[in-house]
Structure 1
Amino acid sequence: MQNIQATYSADLDVQGDIAPPWEKFPHYDRYTIGWRMGAGETWLGKWRDFIQEMPADFDVRLAYLKRHPPAPYNWADYVQETLHPELEHEEQDEYKTYLKELQDLSLIASDIAYPTWLAQQEGVARPWEFDETPEEVARNWTRYLWFWSRQVAELRLRPDWQLPVVPPVWAACASALREEQPGTPNFKQGLLTLTQMLAANKLTPPWQLGLSLDDFADSYEDDMGYVDAFRLWGMSAFDDVEHLQKFLNDTDAPQAWQTWASEHFIMDL
């Protein structure tokens, strides 16, 4: 692996590895466009080169994967191909067959991206540092916003918790963050309502708000309603069916909404 180490020396961690993509960018969901442009695309290319240069020996590759956090379930195909490079491509496509092996080796896990992200944070995250409005962050950095909401919910339990300073552009969410109450939802301003709920750590699904599937417009536009914003959140929040099903059960989702979620939240497993 000397060629890779020479080429990407600045990208190697303290163990001499190029970290797998699910560790480097845990706030990128599996199917985000971020893997096809910018920093995500660049890192994925470097990582693939690193893995190709790695000896095909099972123990070497297992040791590499063990040095890093488990992958979300929907990265299982990449984990399987890393562990078993000897498999033919058509066999790799059948990675679900090998899920039990990956589970037994603790190489994949449910809802693992958040603790991976959290371990990388130095203090409380600040989504407004993207220099975008609440609506823009909800639109462009949905998963990061969700992780921030979970982090804040945990920090609130600490006696030394202090509210971060919210810039004027985020004034519409300052009260929600301060008082842990999102206020009256505006179902027509879906992105802002979603952000206010996440700031208050009180995300409420549409079926608990009296909304119906008729309120879903299948829109990705900036003026999307709340059901569509909730769909955007769900696409970013869940990496596996187990995690999604727990959320649906905990919120008493009617069967029609469960079916809708399974159709619109992108997951392999």
Structure 2
Amino acid sequence: MNELAIIGGTGALDLFPGGDERVLETDWGDPSANVVRVRLGQYKAWFLARHGRPHRLPPHRIDYRANIDGLRRLGVKRVVAINAVGAVDPGLAPGSLVIPDQLVDYTWGRAHTFSDDGRHPLEHVEFAKPFEGPLRSALLAAGQAADIGLVDGGCIAVTQGPRLETAAEIRRLARDGCDLVGMTAMPEVSLAREAGIDYASLCVVANPGAGLEEEPISLEEIHQVLSSAMISVQDLLAHLSL
């Protein structure tokens, strides 16, 4: 079985109506939540709430190993990750949908491999193109089919959170070549690579990075942008052809 799963974070919790639930079995403890069976267009997929149901887990407290291992044991071979992000590139307006192709990891202290307990073989996965695979191409094709403008490519900086970044940190990320900043892509994507899962990220730009505008970042405005953008995300996924 070549199952698809959606991992959703901020703004995506209520995107898909609840269906049948399944408890995930893992080698790493409890995942963030039970998976829910949802319909995407003409086919079904699993949905996993990255931050739990209700939304409660900060990015650095998510058990990414349990989430990915649970999906792998369920038979999932493909994951679309919905990531709410900030814009480092001032040309990316709030509400933009970006399919990144690169990342820089600024996190620390997160369990980022299955290969550190002696029970699992040591893996040195190839990771030069962290999001490359058929699923990424399928997302871009779905954007064309749905007439939804997608930004093809971009580098996402993954920071520790849960606080937002300082203006100086955003300037540093720009100097490092990053276009976006989020808190949850790592180690989720690298663990998926270890597990043999094709993983693509769909980034929803929720706000400009700190210091890119004169006004402070408003969490209320972030939620408003995400609520509006998720309509396009739902339409995009309904046009996904696998």
Same fold (TM over 0.5): no
TM-score (normalizing by structure 2): 0.26
- Bigger Rg, structure 1 or 2: 1
Q: Which has the higher strand share?
A: 2
Higher relative contact order (CA 8 A, sep 6+): 2
TM-score (normalizing by structure 1): 0.25
